[in-house]
Chain A
Amino acid sequence: MNRCLKILFFALLVKPMVLLGLGLNIFFKARLPKAGPAMVVANHNSHLDTLVLMSLYPLSQIHKIRPVAAADYFLCHKVVAWFSLNIIGIIPIQRSNIRDKEALFAECHKALDNGDILLIFPEGSRGKPEALSALKRGIHHIIKQRPSLKVVPVMMHGLGRALPKGERVFVPFNCDVVIGEAIPFEEDAKQYIDSVYHSLNELLALCMTRQSIVLDE
């Protein structure tokens, strides 16, 4: 039932919206992991990020894409929680008061064991429009236990203008989605996070819309 709703939601609403309202410049689509277990790490500027990334997959596979999202934000309202869990299929994760790190990522590991593709925004929050904030180390905790997991970086640009944090009105813009090469595992957390950050920044150079941002004072 929910899977039907999910497919309808993506087929009738998300995909046409992404096609017409946004329009994507996609680079290196073939680098996107076609099947799980795998992880996609992307920059985060807008609620649209999740929908755009999921829309890159065929309808038959959309239920395998699991965005990891903040429990404090998405679960605090009943309707939003139902929608996030059942239609989008998020894996809720705590952002504060963390005691047991193993328990924190239990759901993520369960999804990976199930052959799903995790969608993670390591910035932790949408932040300022079109600016890459410092990355959190959470992803390294997951990968430490699965060094062979395929981790693919994706840089998106333009969505922070189409629907930035704190805005309700959507404005059409073309957006770039640049998919990078899989990031090799490294034991050291800081080094690993640095190489993810570096890779995202490199992908930014390929974005066609990169010049269009004028930051407000």
Chain B
Amino acid sequence: MFNIPLHSFYMMLFVIFLLIAGSLIRLRLQRKNPSVDYTELKQRIQSWWWMIAILFGILLAPTTISITFFALLSFLALKEFFSIMPTRQADRRVLLWAYLAIPAQYYWVETAWYGMFLIFIPIYVFLFLPMRAVFIGETKGFIRSLGTIHWAVMLSVLCISHIAYLLQLPVINEEAGALGLVLFLIFITQFNDVCQYIWGKTFGKHKIIPKVSPKKTWEGFIGGVVTVTIISGLLAPYLTPLTMVQGFVAGSLIAVSGFVGDVVISSVKRDLAIKDSGTLIPGHGGLLDRIDSLIYTAPLFFHFLYYLCY
């Protein structure tokens, strides 16, 4: 239907079904307790509708458009990083060059130049940015500043561009197509966020890292990992070239690394004494608040898959 590979099409329908269910549950909650303020929940669900609509629209568009969209996502994420992290006024030109790494990196994705895609940021950008900063000549705060800049570029450009490269891998599972991989990765990552939240909210007692994230508990973490591992094993053969057993491993990989991505960005925000990284997505905060776990899961899932299947 609409030339969408069948399995991916059903997956999209399933996600839309989940959203409808979420919206209905919120309406029921509101009707049951009219005195409680559900504005934030409402905003969150509305934003989910928007994000899913944009994502599905982009995935169904020609690959070049999908890749351009992920480039835009990298740009917005990098901008958010640079806007909250301390960088020197003298680094403005260096930051501009860091932004220019985005079109280059996504050009390698577009042309499916795998080797360059892998090394461009960890080698060329890594070596170039300090050189550019040296010519500006400000040495005070040099180490801290360059470390910050490179870290932000790695997370928001290299890591996110792995999602786009999934679309360029030769299709093995014909019924799911290239977008099956992206749907699987994003669904499992976000599902993990939700599962850990629900398990933690219901059974949470023992805190994992109270200094970073006081709401994260062992019960939430383990409950999330188990649930996500099972679902992922069931879903993987349907949407990806992975077998069920490989899907279990992919699921636990995504569940654990998603948790790590979440708390890494939390640490950044805690260090800066801010609650959100921005206000781009109503009810969720900034873009980084939403894709924090995806930053970690995308490259790890990609290379797991690449090692096994390509």
Contact = CB atoms under 8 A, between A and B. Distances in A.
Contacts of B96: 169, 171
A216 B136 CA distance: 12
Interface string B138-154: 10110001000000000
A211 B277 contact: no
A173 interface: yes
Contacts of B9: none
A26 B79 contact: no
B20 to A, nearest CB: 30
A213 B145 CA distance: 11
Contact of B92 (A26, A169, A211): A169
Interface residues of B, number: 30
A212 B141 CA distance: 13
B278 A23 contact: yes
A208 B79 CA distance: 13
B76 interface: yes
Interface of A: 23, 25-26, 129, 158, 161, 164, 167, 169, 171-175, 208-209, 211-217
Contacts of B92: 161, 164, 167, 169, 171
Contacts of B75: 172
A208 B141 contact: no
23 contacts: A23-B280, A25-B278, A26-B279, A158-B83, A164-B89, A167-B92, A169-B93, A171-B93, A172-B82, A173-B83, A174-B79, A174-B278, A211-B273, A212-B82, A212-B87, A214-B87, A214-B89, A214-B141, A214-B145, A215-B89, A216-B89, A216-B140, A217-B140
Nearest to A23: B79
Contact of A172 (B84, B99, B145): B99
A214 to B, nearest CB: 5
B83 A216 contact: no
B90 interface: yes
Contacts of A164: 89, 92
A23 B79 CA distance: 9
Most chain B CB inside 10 Å of its own CB: which residue of A167, A175, A208, A217: A208
A211 B83 contact: no
A158 B84 CA distance: 10
Contacts of A216: 88-90, 138, 140
B278 A208 contact: yes
A176 to B, nearest CB: 9
Contacts of A172: 75, 79, 82, 99
A102 to B, nearest CB: 41
A9 to B, nearest CB: 24
A213 B276 contact: no
Given A26-B279, A175-B83, A208-B84, 5 more contacts: A23-B83, A171-B93, A211-B274, A212-B84, A214-B89
A208 B88 contact: no
A167 B89 CA distance: 11
A208 B87 contact: no
Contacts of B276: 208
A137 B86 CA distance: 33
B126 to A, nearest CB: 20
B89 A25 contact: no
